[in-house]
Amino acid sequence: FNVSRVETTPFDGQKPGTSGLRKKVKVFKQPNYLENFVQSTLNALTPQKVRVREQFVLLLPEEVASLDDHIASSPLGLYSSLNLSQIDEGATLVVSGDGRYFSKDAIQAISLTTVLYCMLDYELFVGYWFCARQPEDILCHFIIIKMAAGNGVRRVWVGQDGLLSTPAVSAVIRERVGVDVSQLVSGSRATGAFILTASHNPGGPNEDFGIKYNMENGGPAPEGITDKIYENTKTIKEYLTADVPDVDIAAIGVTSFGGPEGQFDVEVFDSASDYVKLMKSIFDFESIRKLLSSQKFTFCYDALHGVAGAYAKRIFVEELGAQESSLLNCVPKEDFGGGHPDPNLTYAKELVARMGLSKSNPEAEPPEFGAAADGDADRNMILGKRFFVTPSDSVAIIAANAAQAIPYFSAGLNGVARSMPTSAALDVVAKDLKLKFFEVPTGWKFFGNLMDAGLCSVCGEESFGTGSDHIREKDGIWAVLAWLSILAYKNKDNLGGGKLVTVEEIVRNHWATYGRHYYTRYDYENVDAGAAKELMAYLVKLQSSLAEVNEIVSGIRSDVSKVVHADEFEYKDPVDGSISKHQGIRYLFQDGSRLVFRLSGTGSEGATIRLYIEQYEKDSSKTGRDSQDALAPLVAVALGLSKMQEFTGRSAPTVIT
């Protein structure tokens, strides 16, 4: 194939948000829009990450102790542009030798940079979560494949039909099981991924599309990279692409092409097998199978027509013996069947009704356990019979039970972490189990560094995201398997005779032990962006006088405690020292209650204001209240303090979770 340079001009607003770039489909469809973003991303990576080819061996003279010494003593400074630590850790780099005469010169002659540009191998993994969403999605695959070829990438991996869940992409970057390792320099690892998803946002010609880049650890690109990508999008002048013919991504197999820099392969592989294998290595499938196939236990899983459907049948039905009728909406659809693929009490209507939680339509005998996923299957909602588990409680309960119930954690947890707006239920467990604990800004990218450094095993967000260090994304099906493991463990002696321990009992017992964090989130979607900014600015300004704040608070409700601290959340990454500012406005009360205000970074239109409300109740006689009742005073304070209606014109939120 031939490579060509295509001239282009920048687009405004290509700033990756909380989780990549998300825009309306029609925005993405503009000529060059996607190409600009992809090229800007490739340009934001070190050349080594994109163009590394073939393993190479350097013969070092014997008197040179290490490559570092050698680089330091290089008279021509030929290595100066090469930072070895920047080379993809997966690309196997072997440097050794007998040091005979001329070795030094030979090494100098083969400029490392030249070698890296021309000879090192590299695998760029393009993971698509949902090929057939739109004809233009398929087009989108081809655009990226061609650009990858044009940029000197050696090999692209694609899930069959372009389907891969976000957690499966993360898993596959980290390890491709069953790949012919001898063909890959970096063993079974890839160096990065483009994930095509707008996650829980609706899909279809008039809805959202999205793209994000994940790094070689399997996690979302950190802010340092996304900032660079954004800068690149503002100045981009050209992109590279190749005239590679379209590849049939429905058929498993490798297609090879010859290009100016050598061979380029596109490999299409089964979307589920790597992920299934990983899950089997984490959980005790045999004990979950006993539970799921027991007559006493009933189960229901709703994929909301997202990509989780591609995994649900394999895992829950084929591997674990659940009834096929327990799967709802498990056929992936390009528009999610017209629904909003967000697993919460508002949007997962069918599941909510089936679980007996819909007031208008109480089901006679709901299943014992129900769960749902979002479009790209990284989110989860956990339900018991007529019972909702808040995501903040869910991660705390998983952490409290992991070591007993999940083989992967049998040696105990390294530590736990939550996003700032997530309730402090996890904090209490961490304290009790004497675990390291971290509070990070919203967005999964902040957990990755902690996990890479071995500081965190289990983490979660209030936004229905739960996960562990098995990958570097949140994982919807993992969370369901974690809950099923806990249920299987607690019921291992009850499956024959005796009464089953229910989801509700597990949660209520947890509250009795640790206290309960009443929690709710109000979302005001598609608010005028200017009005949302003004509201946030007003809240920041208000923070300068706690006396004034408390006067307002007590004027609204005399039965809430005092605000003792208010700030804008700022995070210093303990691993790389990077600082993230303006991560949400917090009002902290004397009794541990909190109000948090944030602007969403995943919307595609207007602004979304998120208001998080939390109150801690230690007294076990008071942990059984209805959460909206318990939180009513704080809600009133939050709405009054922020002048929500005045700024936004909204008398009620769009969604309450």
Q: Are 589 and 564 in contact (CB under 8 A)?
A: yes
Residue 19 in tokens: 């989780």
- Contact region with ligand VG1 (CB under 6 A), list: 113-121, 134-142, 429-437, 600-608: 600-608
18 binds, among ligand VG1, Co ion, none (CB under 5 to 8 A by kind): ligand VG1
* Token pair 């590849």: residue: 247
Q: How many CA atoms lie less than 13 Å away from 444 in the CB half-sphere?
A: 32
Q: Which residues contact 434 (CB under 8 A, 6 or more apart)?
A: none
393 binds, among Co ion, ligand VG1, none (CB under 5 to 8 A by kind): none
Smaller CB separation from ligand VG1, 321 or 601: 601
- Contact region with Co ion (CB under 5 A), list: 55-63, 173-181, 371-379, 612-620: 371-379
* Cα–Cα distance measured from residue 597 to residue 586, given in angstroms and rounded to the nearest whole number: 7
Q: How far is the CB of 421 from ligand VG1 (least distance, A)?
A: 8
Assess 461 for contact with Co ion (CB under 5 A). Answer: no
Assess 444 for contact with ligand VG1 (CB under 6 A). Answer: yes
Smaller CB separation from Co ion, 160 or 199: 199
Q: Are 461 and 441 in contact (CB under 8 A)?
A: no
User: What number of chain residues touch Co ion (CB under 5 A)?
Assistant: 5
Q: How far is the CB of 377 from Co ion (least distance, A)?
A: 7
Q: Which of 130, 186, 574, 473 is nearest to 309 (CA)?
A: 130
Assess 475 for contact with ligand VG1 (CB under 6 A). Answer: no
Q: How far is the CB of 332 from ligand VG1 (least distance, A)?
A: 16
Q: How far is the CB of 454 from ligand VG1 (least distance, A)?
A: 22
Q: How far is the CB of 301 from ligand VG1 (least distance, A)?
A: 17
Site string for ligand VG1, 609-628 (x = CB under 6 A): -x------------------
Q: Binders of Co ion among 536-575, rule CB under 5 A? A: none
Q: How far is the CB of 611 from ligand VG1 (least distance, A)?
A: 11
Q: How far is the CB of 200 from Co ion (least distance, A)?
A: 5
Position closest to ligand VG1 via CB: 199
Among 3, 14, 16, 18, binds ligand VG1 (CB under 6 A): 18
Assess 137 for contact with ligand VG1 (CB under 6 A). Answer: no
Residue at 25: amino acid letter? V
- Contact region with Co ion (CB under 5 A), list: 138-146, 196-204, 517-525, 563-571: 196-204
Q: How far is the CB of 523 from ligand VG1 (least distance, A)?
A: 9
35 binds, among Co ion, ligand VG1, none (CB under 5 to 8 A by kind): none
Helix spans in 175-284 (H)? 223-235, 273-282
b/e code 470-485 from CB counts within 10 Å (16+ = b): bbbbbbbbbbbbbbbb
* Cα–Cα distance measured from residue 521 to residue 406, given in angstroms and rounded to the nearest whole number: 30
User: What number of chain residues touch ligand VG1 (CB under 6 A)?
Assistant: 18
313 binds, among ligand VG1, Co ion, none (CB under 5 to 8 A by kind): none
Assess 522 for contact with ligand VG1 (CB under 6 A). Answer: no
444 binds, among Co ion, ligand VG1, none (CB under 5 to 8 A by kind): ligand VG1
Q: Which residues contact 178 (CB under 8 A, 6 or more apart)?
A: 273, 274
Q: Are 59 and 106 in contact (CB under 8 A)?
A: yes
* Cα–Cα distance measured from residue 217 to residue 471, given in angstroms and rounded to the nearest whole number: 8
Q: How far is the CB of 95 from ligand VG1 (least distance, A)?
A: 39
Assess 376 for contact with Co ion (CB under 5 A). Answer: yes
- Contact region with ligand VG1 (CB under 6 A), list: 245-253, 296-304, 482-490, 599-607: 599-607
465 binds, among ligand VG1, Co ion, none (CB under 5 to 8 A by kind): ligand VG1
Residue 156 in tokens: 């692209």
Q: How far is the CB of 465 from Co ion (least distance, A)?
A: 8
- Contact region with ligand VG1 (CB under 6 A), list: 148-156, 355-363, 385-393, 439-447: 439-447
* 640 DSSP 8-state letter: H
3-state secondary structure of 594: strand
* Cα–Cα distance measured from residue 563 to residue 597, given in angstroms and rounded to the nearest whole number: 15
Q: Are 306 and 133 in contact (CB under 8 A)?
A: no
Residue 31 in tokens: 């000529």
99 binds, among ligand VG1, Co ion, none (CB under 5 to 8 A by kind): none
Helix (H) or strand (E) holding 445: helix 445-452
Assess 208 for contact with ligand VG1 (CB under 6 A). Answer: no
Q: Which residues pair with residue 328 across a beta bridge?
A: 302
- Contact region with ligand VG1 (CB under 6 A), list: 67-75, 155-163, 303-311, 441-449: 441-449
Assess 19 for contact with ligand VG1 (CB under 6 A). Answer: yes
Q: Which residues pair with residue 265 across a beta bridge?
A: 155, 256
Residues with catalytic roles: 199
Smaller CB separation from ligand VG1, 292 or 373: 373
Q: Which residues contact 389 (CB under 8 A, 6 or more apart)?
A: 382, 383, 397, 503, 507
Q: Binders of ligand VG1 among 358-397, rule CB under 6 A? A: 374, 378-379
Assess 313 for contact with ligand VG1 (CB under 6 A). Answer: no
Helix (H) or strand (E) holding 312: helix 309-312
Q: How far is the CB of 522 from ligand VG1 (least distance, A)?
A: 13
Assess 443 for contact with ligand VG1 (CB under 6 A). Answer: yes
Site string for ligand VG1, 524-563 (x = CB under 6 A): ----------------------------------------
* Cα–Cα distance measured from residue 195 to residue 39, given in angstroms and rounded to the nearest whole number: 15
Instruction: Report CA-CA distances (Å) from 302 to 428, 479, 484.
Output: 31, 14, 15
* Token pair 């282009």: residue: 8
121 binds, among Co ion, ligand VG1, none (CB under 5 to 8 A by kind): none
- Contact region with Co ion (CB under 5 A), list: 127-135, 267-275, 374-382, 496-504: 374-382
Residue 579 in tokens: 């600082």
Assess 199 for contact with Co ion (CB under 5 A). Answer: yes
Assess 517 for contact with ligand VG1 (CB under 6 A). Answer: no
Residue 372 in tokens: 């749902």
* Cα–Cα distance measured from residue 259 to residue 138, given in angstroms and rounded to the nearest whole number: 23
Q: How far is the CB of 217 from ligand VG1 (least distance, A)?
A: 17
* Token pair 């163009």: residue: 51
* Cα–Cα distance measured from residue 134 to residue 311, given in angstroms and rounded to the nearest whole number: 21
Biggest CA–CA distance in the chain, Å, is: 86
Among 160, 600, 604, 642, binds ligand VG1 (CB under 6 A): 600
Assess 200 for contact with ligand VG1 (CB under 6 A). Answer: yes
Which DSSP string corresponds to 317-370? IIIT---GGGEES-S--TTGGGS----STTT-HHHHHHTT--TTS--SS--SEE
3-state secondary structure of 47: helix
* Cα–Cα distance measured from residue 469 to residue 535, given in angstroms and rounded to the nearest whole number: 37
Contacting positions for Co ion (CB under 5 A): 199, 374, 376, 378-379
Contacting positions for ligand VG1 (CB under 6 A): 18-19, 199-200, 374, 378-379, 419, 442-444, 461, 463, 465, 600-602, 610
